[in-house]
Structure 1
Amino acid sequence: MNRNATLFTLAALMTSVMGHAALAVGEDTSEPPKKTKTTTQCRDGKVWDAKSNRCVDAKRSDLGDDVLFDAARELAYAGQYENAIKVLGAMKEQKSARVLNYLGYANRKAGRMEVGMQYYRRALQADENYILARSYMGQALVEQGKIEEAKVQLIEIRDRGGEDTWAYRALLQSLGGVRTY
């Protein structure tokens, strides 16, 4: 397929899927995380602890991994990549695909592309079906001009049942030159 036919096909696919949901960073959702006191009041990798009604050091807190993950996702979405990395580092589940994926995302967005790619690869080693890691990796590949490799990730997402997901739509949009996340 020549370049123009490929672009036309991508444009047609984008048109068909763009109406399904708004795009946002996150766990394959169209909703961005709501801002909490973690991003509005806490600094230096601290997170809001509703029980104590204050910002706490993520490493020293008794907050569970799900609370810390949500805080890290919120920080990453807010562009506070270094703080997101600190919070992710406080989680017990260091080898899970979701943690490795967001370490990839935060590092990539902080300008450390190769470190980010290493985390995406590790996320996929932890769970080859984790399509959000495939999407972010594909977007990183687009940023690097590796379009064919990015298309491979798009096909992988589709073939793993992810065609109707944010992960698929976001990568498709990136391949169309619209935006990367």
Structure 2
Amino acid sequence: MKATAIFSAAFALSLIVAPALVLADGGGGGGGGGTNADCPRGEVWDQRSGRCVKQGSALPDKVLRDYAYALAKAERYDEALDTLNLLRDPNTAEALNYRGYATRKLGRVDEGIGYYLQSVAKDPHYAQVREYLGEAYVIKGNTTAAEAQLDAIKGICGTGCEQYKHLAEAIANPAKL
């Protein structure tokens, strides 16, 4: 009970202090996405407080999803999956995409494709999942399926978006995956 009261007080204080820290840092518009994959295992970056906090379901799903993605991009795939396991709603297009990404990067490509397909079913206009799904198809040697994802991305954001460029590069140079 005492620990809960301390955590609640610390969390409330962080909500008061965080805006001042953001303003002191020039507004936080540096384009870094507001995540930090440098937290130790068992902690996640809380953008509101501007520091690492203990992992727990008390954090909003968006904070957990963003941190899981940052962990995955930092090649900390098991930790990313552990963080995704804390989500109250693990069946969003983003969460399924990030789970697919981390799973694929761990070498479980078919399992990753399953998560990607669930994500696409939830949001067919989500370009990032189509990029990652296409990359998984490239890894499997299915260029036709990868090119179908490239066409879908073209319909979503054109040929100038980063998802289109990344997948086109992966199709052209599969060894880079």
TM-score of the two chains, using structure 1 as the length reference: 0.71
Which ranges of structure 1 fall in alignment gaps of 5 or more residues?
1-30
Does 1 or 2 have the higher relative contact order (CA < 8 Å, sep 6+)? 1
TM-score of the two chains, using structure 2 as the length reference: 0.73
1:149 — aligned with what?
Answer: 145
| Count of residues paired in the alignment | 145
CA distance, structure 1, for counterparts of residue 112 and residue 63 of structure 2? 23
1:96 — aligned with what?
Answer: 92
1:83 — aligned with what?
Answer: 79
| Bigger Rg over Cα | 2
Which ranges of structure 2 fall in alignment gaps of 5 or more residues?
1-30
CA distance, structure 2, for counterparts of residue 51 and residue 109 of structure 1? 30
CA distance, structure 1, for counterparts of residue 71 and residue 80 of structure 2? 5
Relative to its length, the structure with more helix (as a share) is 2
Spell out, residue by residue over 1:140-176, the C-alpha distance to the aligned partner (whole angstroms, 9 max, x if none): 1111111111111101111223422111111001011
State the shift of 1:52 in Å. 9.9
Q: How does 1:28-177 map to 2 (within 5 A)?
A: 36=36, 39-44=37-42, 46-49=43-46, 51=49, 55-59=53-57, 62-177=58-173
Kept after mapping to 2: 8 A contact 1:97/1:127: yes
What amino acid sits opposite 1:47 in the alignment?
Answer: V
Moved more, 66-75 or 103-112: 66-75
Q: Given the superposition, is the C-alpha separation of residues 79 and 33 from structure 1 closer, same or farther in structure 2, using an over 3 Å criterion?
A: farther
CA distance, structure 2, for counterparts of residue 53 and residue 138 of structure 1? 35
State the shift of 1:87 in Å. 0.9
What amino acid sits opposite 2:118 in the alignment?
Answer: R
Provide the aligned C-alpha RMSD in A.
Answer: 2.2
Q: Given the superposition, is the C-alpha separation of residues 88 and 111 from structure 1 closer, same or farther in structure 2, using an over 3 Å criterion?
A: same
Q: Quick one: percent identity of the two aligned structures?
A: 31
What amino acid sits opposite 1:56 in the alignment?
Answer: K
What amino acid sits opposite 1:158 in the alignment?
Answer: K
State the shift of 1:51 in Å. 4.3
Moved over 6 A (4+): none
Spell out, residue by residue over 1:90-113, the C-alpha distance to the aligned partner (whole angstroms, 9 max, x if none): 122311111000100000001111
State the shift of 1:54 in Å. 5.0
Q: Given the superposition, is the C-alpha separation of residues 54 and 73 from structure 1 closer, same or farther in structure 2, using an over 3 Å criterion?
A: closer
CA distance, structure 1, for counterparts of residue 148 and residue 85 of structure 2? 30
State the shift of 1:136 in Å. 0.2
